[in-house]
Amino acid sequence: MTNSFNEFAKAKMLLVIGSNMTEAHPVAATFVKNAVQKGATLIVADPRKHKLVDFAHTHLPLKVGSDVALLNGLMHVLIQEDLYDSEFVETCCEGFDVLKQTVASYPPEKAGEISGIDPELIRQTARLLASVKPVMVCYTLGITEHTSGKNNVMSIANLQMLLGNMGVPCGGVNPLRGQNNVQGACDMGALPNVFPGYQPVGDLSARQKFENAWGVDRLPEKNGLMIPEMMEGLVDKMVRGFYIFGENLANTEPDIRKVEHELASAEFLVVQDIFENETTRFAHVVLPAAAWSENDGTFTNSERRVSRVRTASPAPGEARPNWWIFREIARRMGHTWESDSAKDLWDNEISVLAPNLAGIKYHRIENDGLQWPCPTESHPGTPILHLEGRFTKGKGSFMPVEWTPAAEVPDDDYPFVLSTGRRLYHYHTRTQTGNCEGLNDMLGEETADISAADAQKLNIDQNEMIRVKSRRGEVTVKARITHEVPEGLVWMAFHFREGNANWLTNPVYDPDTLTAEYKACAVSLEKIA
């Protein structure tokens, strides 16, 4: 996020796109609702009429996967009607002419045809967005989990730069990160192309810096593989040893049959986790790890805030902290690592090696955490990025993009769009929530959410078991007829093994990020009896 959670409640206008915030980020949603109660205007763009729509001034029920068309349509109106922030564009941005040229071919009529939104509503929404300054844009995986995920994100950035909403309180581009420490795992360099602090592995000086710090030579310079490439590498034996730490890939990746074939092909699979799960079944060695609140450490949230995690309970049996396990493997391979606690690792290694984190030390985050960039120990942290339009790289570049459809769209055999996501009472594959008293009582099984119109057409009753099929597989699952879902859409989650949406989802990826298209594939619905 370029901005911070404490700005949500003060915002004058919010555009929430591709984010079912009340279920996936419930506490963040409370601040959005607070803003609305204080008079803010909320615009929700989402195929579903989820709970936040109840608080919205305008709902844009766009078709799944049409985000770029809608956003380009909005920008078309902003430019055509001269409603954009020309001063910000001139002084802080570059590439406006190319943007203008691209969005010129998305008049509201065309954007409306692709997105299913009334062209007049697109015009009104564009005028609404230009009527107030600043507007805060929030998005989640509804934007990124598409083959056009990166383009979707760039469209949002284009819109916010065009409106001059960057670098100001209550503005900005704000992706709510899905998992508690997905931001931190990126910051730590658990990515194939960067060291901690986003220092490229291809950069010689960065490699030298880490070689010196770690007391090694010849750190690899070539970018590594991304998860889907690793998985495919298991089958063609390019990858022989695979180490999975705390991920239940067998349930979370698209097309479970394909994923399980890949996992089963692994020559040597190490899984380190807190529970046995669908993925440990394929392991050759399972290592028991200490869980949350069984060791000290830090998480980094969506607003780049590094906060402390503390020990409350001892780990069960022989379970050990993950960092200890990695250290022990290193030791057995001839490397002795000094750091002997999470605090050592942070204070003596991470914050020393990552310039953005240099000023964050454990003693400074005893209470509230600090937001990076925080380059020195006297720096207060950075709640808002790009202040006054000063982008990291100088001027902000418009990156105009063309709309592309989802890789798989409905046809006669598979006439419905399947989109997926998360529900309030569970988290991902329930490794944690499924083992908590009470949460299974609130939600005990998967459902396929469908519209009343489709249910009527197919003669499906509420709670009736139905079959949902895609080109990858099929599941038998309970139908949940709801006004949240428009005609033609099926919406499912992946919390349970039975009826898991990932038996159906399409293993196709954004070409740059390799993020899978969880949000769109084609399915059929069948009455069983």
Partner 1 sequence: MDQNRITINGHAYEFTPGQTILEVAQQNLIDIPNLCHLKGTRATGACRVCIVELEESWGRKIVSSCSAPAKNGMIVHTESPKIVAYRKFYIGLMLDSGNHNCDIGARADESWTDFQISAMENDQKEELCPVWGDCELQALAYRYQVKGRVSGRHREAVTLPIEGDNPFIIRDMSRCILCGRCVAACNEVQVNQAIDFGFRGTKEQIIAGTGTTLMNSACVFCGECVQVCPVGALVEKKALGKGRPWEVTKIRTTCPYCGVGCQQLLHVKNDTIVKVTGVEDGAPNQGRLCVKGRFGYDFIYSDKRLKTPLIREKDGFREASWEEALTLVADTFTRIIDESGPDALAGVSCARSINEDSYQMQKLFRAVFKTNNIDHCART
Residues in 141-170 at the binding interface with partner 1, rule: CB under 8 A:
145
Q: How far apart are the first and last CA of the chain?
A: 48
Binding mask 469-508 for partner 1 (x = CB under 8 A): ----------------------------------------
Residues in 115-144 at the binding interface with partner 1, rule: CB under 8 A:
none
- Is residue 444 a contact point for partner 1 (CB under 8 A)? no
Tell me the CB-side half-sphere exposure of residue 324, using CA atoms within 13 A. Answer: 16
> Looking at 369, 389, 400, 410, which residue binds partner 1 (CB under 8 A)?
369
Task: Output the smallest distance, CB 5 to partner 1, in A.
Answer: 4
Element spanning 371, H or E: strand 370-371
CA 13 to chain centre: 23
Please give the size of the binding site for partner 1, defined by CB under 8 A: 146
> Looking at 12, 127, 198, 243, which residue binds partner 1 (CB under 8 A)?
243
Pairing of strands 416-421, 396-397: unpaired
Q: Residue 411: how many CB atoms within 10 A of its CB? A: 9
DSSP 337: -
Task: Output the smallest distance, CB 445 to partner 1, in A.
Answer: 16
Element spanning 19, H or E: none
- Is residue 252 a contact point for partner 1 (CB under 8 A)? yes
Query: CA distances (Å), 280 to each of 143, 229, 236, 238, 270, in order?
Result: 31, 20, 21, 21, 8
From the number of C-beta atoms within 10 Å of its C-beta (0-12, 13-18, 19+), residue 462 rates as: exposed
- Is residue 216 a contact point for partner 1 (CB under 8 A)? yes
Task: Output the smallest distance, CB 227 to partner 1, in A.
Answer: 5
- Is residue 352 a contact point for partner 1 (CB under 8 A)? no
From the number of C-beta atoms within 10 Å of its C-beta (0-12, 13-18, 19+), residue 394 rates as: exposed
By beta-carbon proximity to partner 1, the closer residue of 242 and 414 is: 242
Q: Are 64 and 148 in contact (CB under 8 A)?
A: no
- Is residue 238 a contact point for partner 1 (CB under 8 A)? yes
Stretch that binds partner 1, among 61-69, 387-395, 492-500, 513-521 (CB under 8 A): 513-521
> Looking at 270, 399, 452, 465, which residue binds partner 1 (CB under 8 A)?
270
Q: What angle do CA 515, 520, 524 make, to 5 degrees?
A: 140
- Is residue 320 a contact point for partner 1 (CB under 8 A)? yes
By beta-carbon proximity to partner 1, the closer residue of 120 and 338 is: 338
- Is residue 284 a contact point for partner 1 (CB under 8 A)? yes
Residues in 179-198 at the binding interface with partner 1, rule: CB under 8 A:
179-193, 195-196
Rounded distance between C-alpha atoms, residue 474 and residue 525, angstroms: 10
Pairing of strands 241-245, 506-509: unpaired
- Is residue 319 a contact point for partner 1 (CB under 8 A)? yes
From the number of C-beta atoms within 10 Å of its C-beta (0-12, 13-18, 19+), residue 316 rates as: exposed
- Is residue 286 a contact point for partner 1 (CB under 8 A)? yes
Query: CA distances (Å), 226 to each of 170, 231, 278, 514, in order?
Result: 34, 9, 21, 7
Query: CA distances (Å), 140 to each of 28, 227, 265, 517, in order?
Result: 12, 20, 33, 14
Task: Output the smallest distance, CB 153 to partner 1, in A.
Answer: 12
Task: Output the smallest distance, CB 113 to partner 1, in A.
Answer: 31
Task: Output the smallest distance, CB 473 to partner 1, in A.
Answer: 18
Task: Output the smallest distance, CB 474 to partner 1, in A.
Answer: 22
- Is residue 247 a contact point for partner 1 (CB under 8 A)? yes
Residue whose C-alpha is closest to residue 266's, from 244, 291, 288: 244
By beta-carbon proximity to partner 1, the closer residue of 85 and 510 is: 510
> Looking at 264, 352, 436, 453, which residue binds partner 1 (CB under 8 A)?
436
- Is residue 514 a contact point for partner 1 (CB under 8 A)? yes
Binding mask 35-74 for partner 1 (x = CB under 8 A): --x-----------------x-------------------
